[in-house]
Amino acid sequence: MESDFSYNLIRRPKRKTLSIIIRSNNDVDVLVPARTPVAFVDQFVSSKSAWIKQKLHFNSQIKSPHKAKAFKPGELFQLMGAELILEIRMGKRAVKNDSEKLIVSLPLSTRNDKKTDIIRSLIEKWYRDQAEIHLDQRSKQLAEIIGKSPTHIGVKGYKSRWGSCHIDGRIFFNWRLIMAPAWVIDYVVLHELCHLIHHNHSRNYWNLVESIMPDYRNAQSWLKVNGATLEL
């Protein structure tokens, strides 16, 4: 079979079905019953080629483990998927950005041994502010589509989730989400808003999500691959 990838054929006497496993090193293993004809295996793999290629692509995009920021000039910071270059200036404490730079201003009197902690604190507050503004706006816009609005929208410093929807209608988002691309942010917003209608992950819930965002699985995959990089 001609394709963009090769696979390892593994025959197992006790297997009754065919299965494909994609390893972390991008090896493709195909497990089959012992007497399965090669032509049949090729046909099976060919029918799954689009899925295999997608998984191989996502694996290849996985980034190295997150490296803590040093908060030094020239470092890259993400805002809605765009990369901003950190620039440190002298002046009143403030953080602002343009299309290319994240600009942090500090008084000339700032002690060197305190500078890194102060810059980190200022940048985190800036991120939280950006997250509150954008997530509030998008939540209200997307709420109009599903026909139900949250009672409150806020941000928190979650460690293991991107958002949460409470039974009383309050929705909170992880402020780090503002580092992700806009379409990924929209998925998380929609995910939580749909819980205002379905307080579970039932088929009806996912049908609602898909009816509004047919390609939501791409956002899920993006977060799986890149979520660990959305850190300071």
pLDDT in tens, 106-123: 999 999 999 999 999 999
Q: Which of 8-22, 53-67, 119-133 has the highest mean pLDDT?
A: 119-133
Asked if residue 108 belongs to a domain, the reply is yes
Same domain, 109 and 54: no
For residues 137, 143, 149, 155, the Cα torsion angle rounded to the nearest 10 degrees is: -40
Tell me which of 135 and 1 has the higher pLDDT.
135
3-class secondary structure, 141: helix
Asked if residue 67 belongs to a domain, the reply is no
Same domain, 57 and 80: no
Asked if residue 66 belongs to a domain, the reply is no
Residue 1 pLDDT exceeds 60: no
Going by pLDDT thresholds of 50, 70 and 90, the confidence category of residue 65 is low
> Do the strands 28-33 and 19-22 form a parallel or antiparallel pair, or are they unpaired?
antiparallel
Between CA 134 and CA 144 the distance in angstroms is 16
Asked if residue 110 belongs to a domain, the reply is yes
Biggest distance spanned by C-alpha atoms of the chain: 78
> Do the strands 101-106 and 82-90 form a parallel or antiparallel pair, or are they unpaired?
parallel
Same domain, 51 and 108: no
Q: What is the mean pLDDT of residues 164-179?
A: 97
pLDDT of residue 92: 96
Residue 63 pLDDT exceeds 70: no
Structure tokens at 205: 């819930």
Mean pLDDT of the chain: 92
Specify the range with the lowest mean pLDDT, choosing from 18-27, 55-64, 222-231: 55-64
pLDDT of residue 4: 75
Same domain, 192 and 218: yes
Structure tokens at 188: 């998380």
Same domain, 32 and 137: no
Contact status, residue 131 vs residue 232, Cβ threshold 8 Å: no
Angle at 182 (CA atoms; ends 177, 187), nearest 5 degrees: 75
Residue 26 pLDDT exceeds 90: no
Based on the structure, what is the number of domains in the chain? 2
Asked if residue 93 belongs to a domain, the reply is yes
CB atoms within 10 A of CB 197: 12
Q: Which domain holds residue 43?
A: 8-61
Going by pLDDT thresholds of 50, 70 and 90, the confidence category of residue 64 is low
Between CA 74 and CA 85 the distance in angstroms is 5
Asked if residue 82 belongs to a domain, the reply is yes
Going by pLDDT thresholds of 50, 70 and 90, the confidence category of residue 207 is very high
Residue 23 pLDDT exceeds 80: no
Q: What is the mean pLDDT of residues 194-217?
A: 96
pTM summary value: 0.73
Between CA 142 and CA 159 the distance in angstroms is 25
Cα-based distances in Å from 65 to 11, 57, 120, 225: 35, 18, 20, 11
Asked if residue 136 belongs to a domain, the reply is yes
Going by pLDDT thresholds of 50, 70 and 90, the confidence category of residue 38 is very high
Same domain, 55 and 109: no
pLDDT of residue 194: 98
3-class secondary structure, 155: strand
Same domain, 99 and 50: no
Same domain, 127 and 17: no
% of the chain with per-residue pLDDT over 90: 78
> Do the strands 76-79 and 28-33 form a parallel or antiparallel pair, or are they unpaired?
unpaired
Q: What is the mean pLDDT of residues 65-70?
A: 77
